[in-house]
Amino acid sequence: MAMTYAELPGLMTQLTGDEKHSASATSTLDVIWVLYDAVLRVSPQTVDDPGRDWFLLSKGHGPAAYYAVLAAKGFIPAAWLAGFGGVDSRLGYHPDRTLVPGVEIGSGSLGHGLPLAVGLAHGLLARALAEPRVFVLIGDAELDEGSNHEAIAYAGAAGLPNLTVVVIDNQSASWGWGAGGIESHFAVSDWSAVRVNGRDHAALTAALTMTPPRPHVVVATVEAKDA
Amino acid sequence: MRESFVSAAEDLLDEDPRAALIMAEISADLFGKAAARHPQRVLNVGIREQLLVGVAGGLALAGLKPIVHTYAPFLVSRAFEQVKLDLSYQGGHAVLVSVGASYDAARGGRTHQAPEDVALLDTLPEMTVHVPGHPDEVPELLRGAITGLGSYSSYIRLSALSNRSCLPVSPSLQVVKSGTGAVVIAVGPMLDPVLDAVADLDVTVAYATTVRPFDQAGLAALAPDTVVLAEPYLAGTSARLVCAALTGRPHRLLSLGVPRVEPRRYGTPADHSRLYGLDAAGIRSAIAGFTGLR
């Protein structure tokens, strides 16, 4: 029984116990919803199909929005949400891929998702699986981690067309990303790069379904973390 | 050993469409032919070791069998968080193959030396560790490690130091000399200096190439009262496993290996073996002092 976007706040309340959700807790909500609702070719029945689209939540912090979407789309029972973080719960404050159906990577420590995604994109092509796409979500402050920059320079040169990065930009990086913004750090390495409103579902859908013949980054602007 | 690894890896890449090789510049010049034959599965990510291991984790998620290769300190200690999280924690498996060992690059200084590698990997669950003592032992170890990728990762520690002759590859301790005074466990390229050290001593020498899992049953079956552990990496790395194998049996243990000091000396690997007491003379002196055997 598919749920709607309007039901996500109720699911998040089951997770956190809070009636109101701060902007930082929901910074990823719209992007993850749009991915699972309109972009990713994956369903609860195809979570182990190598030809599925893959979504890697690299920014494992604040996963309430992620778990809520997975519940809304039937990957996990909504009944799991209430135990969030408990010793018998499969849902931790950082996700574990071995515990949660549909979760592609265990994350939490920042800067691991994009290098994993580069390897995954390579591996799918090596298996002649050209159709599945690899999406990885990172945060603007997570981009501080140097491992991302190893991956950005390499993936641009390797030209992986099946790789899409979404950077949630809630302006939380202490030192920012300079006059050119986050997208300039990808574009200089020959990525396709666009910036959209991270709350605009139509704009997100359009940006996330672009398939340029090289890696693609979507910078999704949301409210500032400390606004 | 590196040449033996290159040849064996080329064969595996030809035979197994799921096998992949990832490098970070080191040895890329040796794999030109393989890269031309398998451009999708032979990757060089440049001088990027975090990415090297992260890509291996992603390849494993995609169902490939990654062989990850570079210098030991760059593979294990520089990228250790990636080995821990991008492979082990994800439940993905890879074969890590290093060159350089503890002090092959004696002239290169500490930056290119990794006596700590096995001790670090020892903190992870389910990591098989092979320390070949001869180039001809490498192909079978690599092939076995690839076969094991369904259930565990492996580390193969190649060295420029080598024994004079190859022994059959075995996961068990192999007794190469029998005696009564003590059991000396010689790991990988430590076998020749150990044999030279104890040629006229009444001791058993047991050779190990696979040190994780450690052959505790094999050691217990030898029922020693006195054990000397001769490892080519940090002294005492396997001491806890020797003690665990002999739990309940009173025993004495001497652990020989690379000390936790920075000598700030260059020279040759032979020079460093001598500095650390890991040449035949040093080993003999240590064993004689510990056992009283003459």
Model pLDDT for residues A75-124, shown as the tens digit of each residue = 999 999 998 999 999 999 999 999 999 999 999 999 999 999 999 999 99
Q: Do B10 and B151 fall within a single domain?
A: yes
B217–chain A Cβ distance below 8 A for any pair: no
- C-alpha–C-alpha distance, residues A41 and B35, integer Å: 32
Q: Is residue B273's pLDDT more than 70?
A: yes
Q: Do B111 and B80 fall within a single domain?
A: yes
Check: CB of residue A36 under 8 Å from CB of residue A3.
Answer: no
Residue A80 lies in a domain: yes
pLDDT at position A76: 97
Interface residue of A122, A149, A163 to substitute, partner B, most B CBs within 10 Å: A122
Strand, coil or helix: A125: helix
**Which candidate, A62, A61, A5, places its Cα nearest to that of A34?**
A5
Domain holding A167, by residue range, is 5-221
Q: Do B20 and B116 fall within a single domain?
A: yes
pLDDT at position B187: 98
- Give the strand order in the sheet containing B204-208: B174-177, B204-208, B183-187, B226-234, B252-258
pLDDT at position A24: 64
Q: Do B251 and B128 fall within a single domain?
A: no
Shortest CA gap B55–chain A (Å):
4
Residue B123 lies in a domain: yes
CB contact under 8 A, B62 and A120: yes
Residue A135 lies in a domain: yes
- C-alpha–C-alpha distance, residues B261 and A80, integer Å: 52
A29–chain B Cβ distance below 8 A for any pair: no
pLDDT grade for B86, boundaries at 50, 70 and 90: very high
Here the CATH number for the domain that contains residue B32 is 3.40.50.970
Residue A73 lies in a domain: yes
Residue B166 lies in a domain: no
Here the CATH number for the domain that contains residue B184 is 3.40.50.920
Closest residue on chain B to A136 (Cα): B58
Residue A226 lies in a domain: no
Q: Do B19 and B135 fall within a single domain?
A: yes
Instruction: Give residues 76 to 95 of B whose Cβ lies within 8 Å of A.
Output: 81-82, 85-86, 89-91
Q: Do B37 and B150 fall within a single domain?
A: yes
Residue A227 lies in a domain: no
Cβ-proximal residues to B159 (8 Å cutoff; 6+ apart), any chain: B1, B99, B100, B101, B102, B104, B131, B132, B188, B189, B232
* ipTM given for this complex: 0.97
CA torsion sign for A201, A206, A211, A216 is negative
Residue A144 lies in a domain: yes
CB contact under 8 A, A125 and B54: no
B19–chain A Cβ distance below 8 A for any pair: no
Residues of chain A with C-beta less than 8 angstroms from the C-beta of B18: 127
Number of domains in chain A: 1
pLDDT in tens, chain A (227 residues): 679 999 999 999 999 888 777 766 789 999 999 999 999 999 999 999 999 999 999 998 889 999 999 999 999 999 999 989 999 999 999 999 999 999 999 999 999 999 999 999 999 999 999 999 999 999 999 999 999 999 999 999 999 999 999 999 999 999 999 999 999 999 999 999 999 999 999 999 999 999 999 999 999 999 998 76
Q: Do B194 and B263 fall within a single domain?
A: yes
- Of B157, B185, B200, which closes a domain? B157
- Of B94, B125, B157, which closes a domain? B157
Q: What is the mean pLDDT of chain B?
A: 97
Domain holding B218, by residue range, is 174-291
pLDDT in tens, B205-250: 999 999 999 999 999 999 899 999 999 999 999 999 999 999 999 9
pLDDT at position B281: 98
Q: Averaged over B12-25, what is the pLDDT?
A: 98
Here the CATH number for the domain that contains residue A100 is 3.40.50.970
- C-alpha distances (whole Å) from A216 to each of A192, A210, B294 are 5, 8, 71
Number of domains in chain B: 2
Interface residue of A56, A147, A152 to substitute, partner B, most B CBs within 10 Å: A147
CB contact under 8 A, B58 and A109: no
- Of B104, B128, B157, which closes a domain? B157
- C-alpha distances (whole Å) from B121 to each of A213, B97, B126, B177 are 39, 13, 10, 30
Number of C-alpha atoms within 13 angstroms, CB side, residue A179? 0
pLDDT at position A19: 73
Nearest Cβ partner for B63 among A54, A123, A146: A123
Output the CA torsion A81→A83→A84→A86 (10° steps).
-160
CB contact under 8 A, A115 and B20: no
Residue B47 lies in a domain: yes
pLDDT in tens, B135-152: 999 999 999 999 999 899
pLDDT at position B226: 97
